[in-house]
Amino acid sequence: MDNKKDLLDEMLSDNSGNDAETLEMISENCEVLSGEQKNRILDMIREKESTDKKTDEIIDDDSEDDNVMSVVEFRNRKSIAVKVCAALAACVCIAAGIKFTGAMNRYFISPDDEPEKTTGVSESVSETSAVPATDNSEVITVPATGYVTGISEQVRKTEITSVNAVSDKYVTTAETGAGDVSKNADTKQVTEQVIAANEIVTGAAVSETVSEKTTEPAEENKESTVTLETEYHEVSQTEVTAEQEESKLSEYMGLYKRMFDKTLFSELSNSYNDFQYIVYDINKDGVPELICEHRDKLRNESIINFQTIEYNTVSSLDVKESDYQVTRVPLRNGKDPNYIVNGSVTFFEDSNTGRLCIEILDNGTGSMVSFDMDGRVVYEADALCKFEYGDDYNLFRDEATKKFSISEIEFGRVRVSECSVMSGHDKIRDLETGEYYFYDEKYMSTP
Amino acid sequence: MVPDKDIISAFTESADEGYRKLMDAYGNYVYTIVSDKVRSMGCEQDKEECVADIFIETVQTCRNHDFKIDSLKALITVISKRRATDLFRKLGAFKRQTEDIDDYSDTIAETATPENISENRTDKAALWNEVIKLGKPDSDILIQQFFYCRTAADIANMLKMTTAAVNKRSQRAREKLKKKLNLKEVH
């Protein structure tokens, strides 16, 4: 009895990887935020927004230097003016004092008075200092506040880590910036010298290496041939957001791709596999342009978020909805099967046009429709049969060209090509006509 | 549930009012996503700050698009998951260990198959569905206790009960749940 109860407790406590529907159901049925908490959060929001506003105003001020100088001069002039006025006032008081006392003797300032006067003057000086700051004066004294944005340039890595769905590891490469990439490195060399995961974190976290090779810290702006030797770096203490990390990783992905002469693909996933990022290099220049984020179903909708990367900034292009659950593309070497549940959506590059496309594959009918990012249909075809070649290939007939094509998935990229050589599959059946065909190098021929 | 268009129109009048409406509509949901990610790794203050950041970023994104957002829920969900992941990484950063890629280079990343994952999620969804069917306050107690990892004293405070009553109710609710689940298995 106790064991069963413990089992139930264990099940209730094991709450990792809940899908969006479950989270929604829980949030709708149980009020978790008290009024006090809500007010606290709203106060935090107000405070952060006003801090941001101030920081923006300060940053937007282009003539900051001039203002600083003009304010300094202004304050100097002001202090001088106040001193003069104070002196005049003192003289007037003295004259009045002489008149009232009737003394025509030489004015004598007793030692007792002087401190007062000094005090009086210094008070006025201190008053000057205490003059309510103008907007300009804030420019001088305001401390650095607001959010730290932008990419930290202090991190330089030459480590390579694996993309791993279990934990937050990702394949990174080489140092940032344009370095000449050694193209002689092969996979074996890489795996021998690879390092563990790196994370850019707050604090003085370091990226540790597992290699036995001795390391030395890299200089910041050093342009060098990217090697596979590991190096020891102290990472930036700046807090880095997910987008910054994405941008940083995308740089590494670009270099990684150049290194291995691969294009288009790399993949990250967070530790709960709730969403994955796929990095695309559309124009094949080694610099990634697109990150596609897959996320889970929300009711009957899948949200696909497109992002572009320009100069290390990430902006959202569009949020599209589809009726299919987003599929996961294969991990690492493309040999893992697709996770297909009731149809699939896969991002790929159209090898003919180089454009990013979405393939929506219906497992039931085997039909495939591909759209480009503007919603135009690129391909529309019915699958003739599904190869059991690790489920990586689909043979279909392109309705437009009436030619047989194969969509194959390699490194997460679905390549649609005509007439690829496929061994071991010499007979296929056209689902439309029911006829059988032999598949050979040149094309299909009827038996 | 406050409709999205009311929230958006509130922002055109006053940011304060907009945030209040956003909080009423999505506060619970966002906090749930953050809690799901972070669990007991972070304190309440961390989670609340994360929620605040999420709302600020959501509104900023809406402003960048002139509030022409098709689905506020979709947007806030994506942002919530990202920020929650940031928080998870920040809180768990020092606890991670490095591992050699050679350990993984020839093996599939995880033993879970699509079927396993799908089944696991379905089971969890079914379990929480059964918890909710228990009715309030039992369902609230179990959710607060096991999902949000709150103490009996906190739950008692929230539900205006005594701590002893919360513990008792939790125990009975789990007994009831266990019987229900066993019954379902048998059928």
> Percent of chain B beyond pLDDT 90?
13
Cβ of B71 within 8 Å of Cβ of A275? The answer is no
The pLDDT value given to residue B52? 94
What value does the mean pLDDT take over residues A120-128? Answer: 34
Looking at the partner chain, which of B36, B69, B89 has a beta carbon nearest the beta carbon of A199? Answer: B89
Higher per-residue pLDDT: A345 or A191: A345
Contacts (Cβ under 8 Å, ≥6 apart) of A304: A292, A293, A294, A295, A319, A320, A321, A322, A326, A345, A358
At residue B159, does pLDDT exceed 70?
yes
Is A332 in the B-facing interface, judged by CB distances under 8 Å?
yes
What value does the mean pLDDT take over residues A261-281? Answer: 36
The pLDDT value given to residue B84? 81
| Closest CA in chain B for residue A27 | B29
Cβ of B98 within 8 Å of Cβ of A34? The answer is no
Tokens standing for A184?
A: 């002689």
The owner of tokens 């009726």 is A323
Looking at the partner chain, which of B78, B83, B110 has a beta carbon nearest the beta carbon of A165? Answer: B110
Higher per-residue pLDDT: B81 or B100: B81
Q: Are A255 and B70 in contact (CB under 8 A)?
A: no
Is A241 in the B-facing interface, judged by CB distances under 8 Å?
yes
The pLDDT value given to residue B92? 59
Cβ of B94 within 8 Å of Cβ of A205? The answer is yes
Distance CA B97, CA A166 (A): 13
Neighbours of B82 (CB within 10 A): 20
At residue A260, does pLDDT exceed 70?
no
The pLDDT value given to residue B53? 92
Higher per-residue pLDDT: A69 or B163: B163
At residue B36, does pLDDT exceed 60?
yes
Looking at the partner chain, which of B56, B86, B117 has a beta carbon nearest the beta carbon of A49? Answer: B56
Mean pLDDT across chain A: 46
Per-residue burial over A69-82, b if 16 or more Cβ lie within 10 Å, else e, is: eebeeebeeebeeb
- For residue A160, the chain B residues in CB contact (below 8 A) are 101
- Per residue in A290-330, pLDDT (tens digit) is 444 444 433 222 333 333 333 223 333 333 333 333 333 33
- For residue B97, the chain A residues in CB contact (below 8 A) are 196
The owner of tokens 């949020």 is A319
The pLDDT value given to residue A88? 80
Cβ of B131 within 8 Å of Cβ of A12? The answer is yes
Distance CA A275, CA A267 (A): 11
Biggest alpha carbon–alpha carbon distance for chain B:
58
Q: Report CA-CA distances (Å) from B171 to A11, A102, B128, B167.
A: 15, 97, 16, 6
At residue A30, does pLDDT exceed 50?
yes
| DSSP conformation letters of A380-432 | EEEEEEE--STT-EEEEEETTT--EEEEEEETTEEEEEES---TT--EEE-TT
- Per residue in A277-288, pLDDT (tens digit) is 444 444 545 544
ipTM score of the complex?
0.83
User: How far away is chain B from the Cα of A51, in angstroms, using its nearest Cα?
Assistant: 12
- Mutation choice for B interface testing from A45, A173, A296 by most B CBs within 10 A: A45
> Percent of chain A beyond pLDDT 90?
2
At residue A17, does pLDDT exceed 90?
no
Looking at the partner chain, which of B44, B52, B174 has a beta carbon nearest the beta carbon of A8? Answer: B174
The DSSP H or E segment spanning A78 is: helix A64-101
> Percent of chain A beyond pLDDT 70?
12
Cβ of A18 within 8 Å of Cβ of B36? The answer is yes
Q: Are A359 and A370 in contact (CB under 8 A)?
A: yes
Q: Which of A185-189, A224-228, B130-134 has the lowest mean pLDDT?
A: A224-228
| DSSP conformation letters of A99-115 | HHHT--SPP---TTHHH
- For residue A195, the chain B residues in CB contact (below 8 A) are 98, 101
Looking at the partner chain, which of B44, B102, B121 has a beta carbon nearest the beta carbon of A19? Answer: B121
Q: Are A335 and A344 in contact (CB under 8 A)?
A: no
Burial class (CB in 10 A: 0-12, 13-18, 19+), A31: middle
Detail the DSSP E strand segments found in A289-331.
290-294, 297-298, 301-310, 313-322
The pLDDT value given to residue A403? 53
| Beta bridge partners of residue A302, listed in sequence order | A297, A322
Q: What is the DSSP-derived secondary structure letter of residue A226?
A: B
Cβ of A48 within 8 Å of Cβ of B52? The answer is yes
| Closest CA in chain A for residue B20 | A42
User: How far away is chain A from the Cα of B168, in angstroms, using its nearest Cα?
Assistant: 15
User: What pLDDT band is residue A91 in, cutting at 50, 70 and 90?
Assistant: confident
Q: Which of A47-51, A145-149, A213-217 has the lowest mean pLDDT?
A: A145-149
What value does the mean pLDDT take over residues A212-224? Answer: 37
* Cα A138 off chain centre by: 33
Looking at the partner chain, which of A32, A201, A332 has a beta carbon nearest the beta carbon of B31? Answer: A32
User: How far away is chain A from the Cα of B51, in angstroms, using its nearest Cα?
Assistant: 7
Cβ of B121 within 8 Å of Cβ of A168? The answer is no
- Mutation choice for B interface testing from A33, A190, A243, A306 by most B CBs within 10 A: A33
Distance CA A157, CA A252 (A): 9
Is A142 in the B-facing interface, judged by CB distances under 8 Å?
no
The pLDDT value given to residue B110? 46
Looking at the partner chain, which of A11, A45, A196 has a beta carbon nearest the beta carbon of B127? Answer: A11
